[in-house]
Structure formats: structure tokens, C-alpha cells
């Protein structure tokens, strides 16, 4: 194992890229114990729910892109559905005929726990309880809050303070600073019950009753019957050729098809690296791909975590989980140490193909992805950050496929973010001339117009890629608290 000049980690047998060092360590421990990439990803995801509570947790959803060695790629959709009591008339009565981002009607069924169980049942090698052991220990003993995590905790402090349950769980009266110690013993207890009893400990009994009671106190519709009825499903990826690679994305209810639509528009185009007109072509293709996703799915936005892994047998996975907006709906369940997600904000207005309905999955921004080369696994990757996810995919894929960049170089490169179809924000360090070309094409400057407390969020990527010599390359986004590990 060594680190390349651009910061890419190189490994011979196995590699992990995750959003926090403790999550990467947990994943590597599972791989070294003989676990599969799925075992490692579950362990990392459980840790992420402890150490980055504004982004993910047991109150949210999970999706995965899965590439088993010697078998066809597949996806897993662990996204939850709207409560049975939700009706079109309720949404039609709201201002704008849409569910606001942290309205009680935004609460949907959390799918992550069932996702862990389903993925482990099919692909796991290690005992399920052992996969949760690192997260249980960290939740009980506590951890040092990361700098990016601490900054977002402060930015969204009002969400935490707006609900008694969240205020108690997430220290709304004394939000922890970077490096401060934070523990969540209630979450540790919930994880212990899930480790011992499986998903029934979450979707039935006392845990389900606690979630339903917290929802009811806040005016949300989530009920015990909604939790008991939840199930996830395996599916087949969508595919698109692009500059020698085949890009795999999850099918709807995600917006992965918007990425593939953009790449289809760019396939066959000459794309000289970082030229202003090249960037303009990519921006316009991405805008049009996202418009198509809005037409057939819904409007995008949100927050997520991502883990990318290739194990010693060549099993590859991108696993992503999310509670959507920072701290989700803001509705905390103090007995469980979690908050409930707000995916219902992803529904369009009544009458749209993505309009609200009882038991329906809303449009979902979580899009774990992969790339094949000559039919074999080339890379697994994801980009967190809601609206940034499809845009980040297009930018990363262009850099590794069309421009031949290594993993960390492609992740570190300055990004752009469309905040509207006609407004774009450019990250610091963007090459000279690009702003002018975009302005000349009619794109307004959207700097400061983002939905992250009024800031532009350029996302956070994780990627593991197989090099031509068969070794692995891994990179983790410096915009987050993550890291890469390998052997």
C-alpha cells in the first residue's frame, strides 16, 4: 500500500473509501476478519449514523450498487414509503401544493435497518451482530466530533432546537464543537437490540411504538403499521456507455437516470480538458438530464453519506444512506437516539407522476453508482449532497473516463453546482475563463444561493477504482471528514 502524489491511496487486495476514519476502520476490520464487501459496508454505514448524525442514521433510507464477482450487477432499493394516512388532499391544501422540507407530512418510513438485513442475508459472511459492534461501542463510549460535522451541526442548530426530542439527543442547548466528545447511549441500546434480534427490533414492538409516538407528537402520520409493512427490493441497474466505460446507476425512484441522460448527450463529443466550452457543454448536458429527471421523477435536493468498497475477492459495492436534509425532519425519538427522515419533501404536487399517495415512495436523491470497463468492475463511487449528486457524478465520470485522471485528483478538482436551470455556483479554484463562458451562455452567478443554510454545497465523493495493473486506487473527499484505507 502507498499514497500517490495526488493523494490517491493504492492497495493490492482491498480498499475502502468512507466519510469518517472510524467508519473506514470498521470496514477494514470486517474485511480483515474475512467479511465480504457488504459486511464491511454495513459496519461502516452503522458507524456513519453515529458520527455524522445530521446526514444519516437509523431514521433514514439506504441504497446500494452491488457488483458480485462473476455475477451480474444489481441494485438494492431500501427507500421507505409514505404513511398510509397521507392523502393528496392534505398536500393540495398546503402552500404551493408541495410538502415543505421539514413539515410533519415529510416523514416517511425509514428503510436503512431492513436494508442492512436484506443485504447481509444475501451477501454477508460474518455474524450480523458483529457488524454493528463498532457502531455500538462508539455510540456508547463517544467520539471526537469531526470539523465538517461540527460546522454543519452549528449551521443547522435551529433544526435541532426546534423539537424537544432532537434537542435532547443532539445537545441543542450546547452543540458540540470540533473535537468535543459526543456519545449517544440511547442509539447504542437500539443498535444492540437490532444486533440481537434483527430488523424486528426496529420495525415492531417498543421501537416502532416510540417512533410512532414521536411522529404523532409532532403532527406526523407515521404509524406502527407503516413500519411493520416496510420492505426493500433488489433491482437491475440502468446503463450508459461513456468514453470507454459503462456507467451504472440505480433506477427510479432515484434520479440516476438524469446522470445517464447527461452522459448520453456527451458521448461522442470531443471534450478537451477544462476548456471553458467543454465545461459549458457538460453543464448544459447535466442541466438537461436533470430536467428530464424532474419531468419523469421529481425535483431533487438533500444530504447523504457514502461508502465505496472493493474486497479481496473483487466484490464491489457502493452503499449510501441518508436522512435527507440535515437532521431530516428534525423530529427526534429520544428513547432511540435517532431522528426521522423527511423524504416526503421529495414528492411533487398532486397530479404529477411523483405526486403524493399513501404507501408510495417519493423521488429519492441517493444514487450509488459504478463503472464497468470491458464488462468488469472498474470503479464504485458516490457523491453526497442532494442536488449535487447527479452533477457530481457527471463531473467525476468525465474526469476519470474522458480525461484519465486518478481518483483523488478527480475528487479534489473544483466543482460547479447548478442551483437552478439558469444559475450556477463555481467552487474556488475553478479555471479562468469558465465563469465568463457560462455567463455568456446565460447562466447567472448562484454563489451563496445553496440550500445548506444559504451556502453552496459542492458535495463529498468516495471512490475505489481498479487500475490497469489490477491494483486498487481509493480516494475520499477532503470536503468531508472521511478517509481511504487499504491493504
Three-class secondary structure assignment of 83-107: CCCCCHHHHHCCHHHCCCCCCHHHC
Bigger pLDDT: 2 or 475? 475
Q: Which of 423, 421, 420, 417 is nearest to 388 (CA)?
A: 417
pLDDT at 1: 66
Q: pLDDT of 395-426, one tens digit each? A: 999 999 999 999 999 999 999 999 999 999 99
**What are the beta bridge partners of residue 310?**
15, 316
How do residues 121-153 score in pLDDT, each as one tens digit?
Answer: 999 999 999 999 999 999 999 999 999 999 999
Report yes or no: 153 and 176 within 8 Å, Cβ to Cβ: yes
pLDDT digits (tens, 9 = 90+) for 91-116: 999 999 999 999 999 999 999 999 99
**pLDDT recorded at residue 452:** 81
Give the pLDDT band of residue 243 (cuts 50, 70, 90).
very high
Q: Inform me whether the pLDDT recorded for 483 exceeds 50.
A: yes
What gap in Å lies between CA 96 and CA 99, rounded to an integer? 8
Which pTM was predicted? 0.97
| pLDDT (0 to 100) of residue 317 | 98
Residue 249 has φ and ψ, to the nearest 5°, of: -130, 160
User: Average per-residue pLDDT in the chain?
Assistant: 95
Supply the pLDDT for residue 303.
Answer: 67
How confident is residue 453, by pLDDT bands cut at 50, 70 and 90? confident
Reported confidence tier of residue 301, pLDDT bands at 50, 70, 90: very low
Residue 6 CA to residue 413 CA, distance in Å, equals 11
User: Considering only CA atoms, which of 301, 323, 265 is closest in space to residue 48?
Assistant: 323
List of domains in the chain: 2-486 (3.60.20.40)
202-215 average pLDDT score: 98
Amino acid at each position: 500500500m502507498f499514497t500517490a502524489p495526488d493523494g490517491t491511496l493504492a492497495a493490492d487486495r482491498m480498499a475502502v473509501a468512507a466519510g469518517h476514519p472510524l467508519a473506514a476502520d470498521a470496514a477494514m476490520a470486517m474485511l480483515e476478519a474475512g467479511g465480504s464487501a457488504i459486511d464491511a459496508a454495513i459496519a461502516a454505514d452503522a458507524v456513519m449514523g453515529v458520527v455524522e448524525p445530521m446526514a444519516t442514521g437509523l431514521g433514514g433510507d439506504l441504497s446500494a450498487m452491488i457488483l458480485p464477482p462473476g455475477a451480474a450487477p444489481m441494485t438494492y432499493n431500501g427507500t421507505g414509503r409514505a404513511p398510509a394516512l397521507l392523502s393528496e388532499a392534505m398536500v393540495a391544501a398546503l402552500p404551493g401544493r408541495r410538502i415543505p422540507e421539514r413539515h410533519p407530512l415529510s416523514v416517511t418510513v425509514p428503510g436503512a435497518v431492513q436494508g442492512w438485513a436484506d443485504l447481509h442475508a444475501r451477501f454477508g459472511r460474518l455474524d450480523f451482530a458483529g457488524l454493528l459492534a463498532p457502531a455500538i461501542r462508539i455510540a456508547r463510549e463517544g467520539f471526537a466530533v469531526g470539523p465538517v460535522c461540527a460546522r454543519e451541526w452549528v449551521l443547522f442548530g435551529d433544526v435541532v432546537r426546534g423539537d424537544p426530542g432532537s434537542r435532547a439527543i443532539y445537545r441543542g442547548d450546547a452543540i458540540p464543537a470540533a473535537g468535543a466528545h459526543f456519545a449517544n447511549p440511547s442509539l447504542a441500546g437500539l443498535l444492540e437490540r437490532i444486533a440481537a434480534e434483527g430488523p424486528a427490533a426496529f420495525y415492531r414492538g417498543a421501537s416502532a411504538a416510540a417512533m410512532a409516538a414521536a411522529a404523532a407528537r409532532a403532527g406526523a402520520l407515521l404509524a406502527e403499521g407503516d413500519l411493520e409493512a416496510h420492505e426493500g427490493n433488489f433491482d437491475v441497474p440502468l446503463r450508459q456507455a461513456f468514453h470507454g466505460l459503462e456507467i451504472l446507476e440505480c433506477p427510479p425512484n432515484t434520479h440516476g437516470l438524469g446522470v445517464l441522460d447527461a452522459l448520453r448527450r456527451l458521448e461522442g463529443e470531443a471534450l478537451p480538458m477544462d476548456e471553458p466550452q467543454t465545461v459549458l457543454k457538460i453543464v448544459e448536458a447535466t442541466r438537461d438530464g436533470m430536467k428530464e429527471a424532474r419531468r419523469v421523477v421529481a425535483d431533487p435536493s438533500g444530504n447523504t453519506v457514502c461508502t465505496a468498497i472493493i474486497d479481496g475477492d473483487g466484490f464491489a459495492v457502493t452503499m449510501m444512506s441518508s436522512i435527507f436534509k440535515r437532521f431530516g425532519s428534525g423530529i427526534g425519538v429520544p428513547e432511540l437516539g435517532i431522528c426521522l427522515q423527511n423524504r416526503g419533501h421529495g414528492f411533487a404536487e398532486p397530479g404529477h407522476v411523483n405526486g403524493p399517495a399513501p404507501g408510495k415512495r417519493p423521488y429519492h436523491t441517493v444514487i450509488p453508482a459504478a463503472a464497468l470497463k470491458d464488462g468488469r468492475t472498474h470503479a464504485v463511487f458516490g457523491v453526497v449532497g442532494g442536488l449535487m449528486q447527479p452533477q457530481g457524478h457527471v463531473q467525476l465520470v468525465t474526469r476519470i473516463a474522458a480525461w484519465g485522471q486518478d481518483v483523488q485528483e478527480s475528487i479534489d478538482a473544483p466543482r460547479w453546482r447548478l442551483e437552478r436551470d439558469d444559475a450556477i455556483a463555481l467552487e474556488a479554484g475553478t479555471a479562468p475563463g469558465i465563469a465568463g463562458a457560462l455567463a455568456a451562455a446565460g447562466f447567472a452567478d448562484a454563489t451563496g444561493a445553496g440550500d445548506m443554510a444559504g451556502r453552496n454545497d459542492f458535495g463529498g465523493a468516495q471512490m475505489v477504482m481498479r487500475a490497469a495493473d489490477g491494483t486498487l486506487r481509493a480516494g475520499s473527499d477532503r470536503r468531508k471528514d472521511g478517509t481511504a484505507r487499504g491493504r
